[in-house]
Amino acid sequence: MHIKRSGKVWSHAKFKSLKNDSETMFDFIHGGIFAGILILISILISGFFLWVGLRITGKKVGILEAALVNLAAGVLGVIAGSIFIFIPFIGILSPLIAYLVYLYGISLLLKISIVHAFLASILATLVFTGILFAIGVFIGIWMLKFIPFMVRPGMMHF
């Protein structure tokens, strides 16, 4: 089916793909809302792991508080790392300086010692790594067991 519009002949498929400005703005708003929700979820997930690390070390805080502390300390660490990266001969230590500023931010905001913040950070990393390892093992077993067309070791010949 062809539609004549402003002197040109348009195919039906091309005419249906045109969007007006309100539909484009609607898509843009939905994309922004979706991105905002994903950012909030990522902040809460990272805060959850810091919360677990703090709980293991004995500090009782809420998940939301741990998430906001983690976000604030992370931003401080990124700013410090970005500043020190440009100083000659010290720039190589920029990630270490950023991590120390991150630990200082956690200790300052939660009123704990830097050693306590370090232990919580290391434990949060270990818990995160353990959970990812468990998920990877589960998915690997599932793939080997339930996907018959998987290429298994020894099935490939060159």
Between residues 82 and 21, which one has the greater pLDDT?
82
Cα separation, 58 vs 60, whole angstroms: 6
Tokens representing 120? Answer: 């919580």
pLDDT over 80 (residue 14): no
Q: What is the pLDDT of residue 11?
A: 52
Q: Write the pLDDT tens digit of every residue in 99-109.
A: 999 999 999 99
Q: For the chain, what are the domain ranges?
A: 28-146
Q: What is the pLDDT of residue 30?
A: 76
- Nearest-CA neighbor of 43 among 86, 84, 75? 75
Lowest-confidence segment of 11-15, 44-48, 71-75 by average pLDDT? 11-15
Question: How many other C-beta atoms can be found within 10 angstroms of the C-beta atom of residue 102?
Answer: 22
Residue 154 pLDDT class (50, 70, 90 cuts): low
pLDDT over 80 (residue 49): yes
Determine if the pTM surpasses 0.75.
no
pLDDT over 80 (residue 152): no
* Farthest CA pair distance, the chain: 75
136 to each of 23, 106, 130, 139, 143, how far by Cα in Å?
40, 30, 10, 5, 10
Average pLDDT, the chain: 83
Q: Give start and end residues of each alpha helix (H) in the chain.
A: 12-17, 21-57, 63-84, 94-110, 114-146
pLDDT over 90 (residue 146): no
Q: What is the pLDDT of residue 69?
A: 94
